[in-house]
Structure 1
Amino acid sequence: MHLNFKKIGSGKPLVILHGLFGSADNWYSIAKELEKTYTLYLVDQRNHGDSPHADEWNYKVMVEDLKDLLDQEGLEKVYLMGHSMGGKTVMNFALQYPERVEKLIVADIAPRYYPVHHQTILEGLNAIDLKTIKSRKDADDILGQYVSELGIRQFLLKSLSRDSNGFVWKINLPVITKNINNVGEALESDKKYEGPTLFLAGENSNYIQQSDLSDMEEFFPNYEVEFISGAGHWLHAEQPNAVIEEVLKFLK
């Protein structure tokens, strides 16, 4: 699969993958600073953003999508970074293809299993009838019955687009809804990634906990953890300067 991506900046390649319901656009605020030092590849994973839709959606195929992208771009070895679902993708990739990863950065996700906790969001998104809504406000009013936080609704509705026939989802909502269990899967491998690995954790997030450190060490023995003060799960949006500082310090 040919993933959509945006290539900016100059220097050693740094490939960044977004999380569930997101897209490459989520990383623009971070990219403005990092592109001064690195060539950034901001990637839309399958069934998200402007990348193709497909019925198969799991970490096995997302890892192969990423490998195909590196092969297509002639990238032998890269710095690799992923947030949440993207973090699971890059962890799996580093275990499968360690020779392709110079350094690994995982943003606010651990190797363990996460139970499904997006059902209310999915109910809200599926409640939006694209054939009847007349405006984005109509969509927001419906979604607001399920998701009270304005910021989360604004993030989700970035995937609502328009074409000549009306409103369309950039995300493959039916496939994501059907296969949502795949997102929380734990890493299962007898391999290790021995390269330098940085886990970034939101101080106010519960995605990375003290009990996760043993799993991190099992798969990524050369790891470190940095907590971002004042940040929740979307740490790159909430505290972009702190994330940029930690990324630059680790990569240099």
Structure 2
Amino acid sequence: MQLNFKKSGQGKPLIILHGLFGSADNWMGIAKNLEEDYTLYLVDQRNHGDSPHSEEWNYEAMAEDLRELLDAEGLESVYLLGHSMGGKTAMKMALMYPKRVKKLVVADIAPRAYPVHHQTILKALNAVDPEKLKSRKEAEDILAQYIAERGIRQFLLKNLTRSEGGFAWKINLPVITQQIENVGEAIDSEKPFENPVLFMGGANSDYIQEKDKADIERIFPENHLVYIKNAGHWLHAEQPDAVVATLKAFLDA
């Protein structure tokens, strides 16, 4: 699958993958602070952003999408960063094609399986009929019946785009709804990834826990685990300066 991406900067190639319900734009602020030393590829994963939709939606397929992108861009090996769902795609890519990944950065996710916990968001999104909307405000009012946090509503509404005569979701909402369990699947391999890996967690997040360290050590033995202070799951939005500094220290080492 030919993914949509935004390319900027100069230097060593760094690919950045967003999380569930996200898009390439989510990491734009971080990318702007890395453009002097890296060629940034901000990618829309399948069924997200401006990339194609597909009935097949799992980490193996998303890793293959990434390999196709590297092949199309003539990139033999890259630095690879993924957040949340994107972090699992990045781990899968590194394990499937270890020679294509120089260094791996996994933002606030561990290799283990996670229980599905997006039901409320999916209910909210499916309550919106974009073809009948007259305004974005109308969509937000519907989401507000399910989601109290305005920041989350605004994040989700980035997926709403103008279409002929109204609006449409950029995300493939039916497939994401039907296959949401795939997002929580564990990433595992009998053969470990031997190159350096940075696990970057939010200090206020519970996505990377003490119990995860054994799996991380087994699958990614050359790992570094860093927690970003005063940050939750959205560490790149909450503490961008600390994230940029941590990334540079790891990638430039």
TM-score, normalised to structure 1, is: 0.99
Partner of 1:95: 95
SS state at 2:132 partner:
coil
Deviation of the 1:246 alpha carbon: 0.2
CA distance in 2, matches of 1:131, 1:67: 35
CA distance in 1, matches of 2:170, 2:56: 16
Partner of 1:70: 70
Deviation of the 1:35 alpha carbon: 0.9
Deviation of the 1:105 alpha carbon: 0.1
CA distance in 1, matches of 2:138, 2:95: 44
What are the equivalent positions in structure 2 for 1:86-235 lying under 5 Å apart?
86-235=86-235
CA distance in 2, matches of 1:188, 1:32: 33
Deviation of the 1:164 alpha carbon: 2.2
Amino acid at match of 1:46: R
Amino acid at match of 1:82: G
SS state at 1:56 partner:
coil
Deviation of the 1:166 alpha carbon: 1.1
Amino acid at match of 2:18: H
Deviation of the 1:129 alpha carbon: 1.3
CA distance in 2, matches of 1:27, 1:56: 25
What are the equivalent positions in structure 2 for 1:19-38 lying under 5 Å apart?
19-38=19-38
SS state at 2:200 partner:
strand
Partner of 1:238: 238
Partner of 1:8: 8
SS state at 2:117 partner:
coil
CA distance in 2, matches of 1:167, 1:191: 46
CA distance in 2, matches of 1:165, 1:51: 22
Deviation of the 1:247 alpha carbon: 0.2
User: How much identity, in percent, do the aligned residues show?
Assistant: 67
Q: Which whole-Å deviations, capped at 9, do the CAs of 1:191-217 have from their partners, x for residues lacking one?
A: 210000000000111101111100100
Amino acid at match of 1:132: K
Amino acid at match of 2:64: E
CA distance in 2, matches of 1:100, 1:67: 8
CA distance in 2, matches of 1:30, 1:202: 16
Structure 1: give runs of 5+ residues left out of the alignment: none
CA distance in 1, matches of 2:47, 2:36: 30
Amino acid at match of 1:225: L
Deviation of the 1:31 alpha carbon: 0.8
CA distance in 1, matches of 2:126, 2:135: 16
Q: Which whole-Å deviations, capped at 9, do the CAs of 1:161-214 have from their partners, x for residues lacking one?
A: 002231000000000000000000001321210000000000111101111100
Structure 1 segments of 4+ aligned residues over 6 angstroms from their partners: none
CA distance in 2, matches of 1:235, 1:248: 16
Structure 2: give runs of 5+ residues left out of the alignment: none
CA distance in 2, matches of 1:191, 1:239: 34
CA distance in 1, matches of 2:54, 2:130: 20
CA distance in 2, matches of 1:165, 1:94: 43
Conservation of the 8 A alpha-carbon contact between 2:188 and 2:219 = no
Amino acid at match of 1:139: A
SS state at 1:189 partner:
coil
Amino acid at match of 2:219: F
Deviation of the 1:115 alpha carbon: 0.2
TM-score, normalised to structure 2, is: 0.99
Q: Which whole-Å deviations, capped at 9, do the CAs of 1:216-250 have from their partners, x for residues lacking one?
A: 00100000111001111010011111000000000
SS state at 2:130 partner:
coil
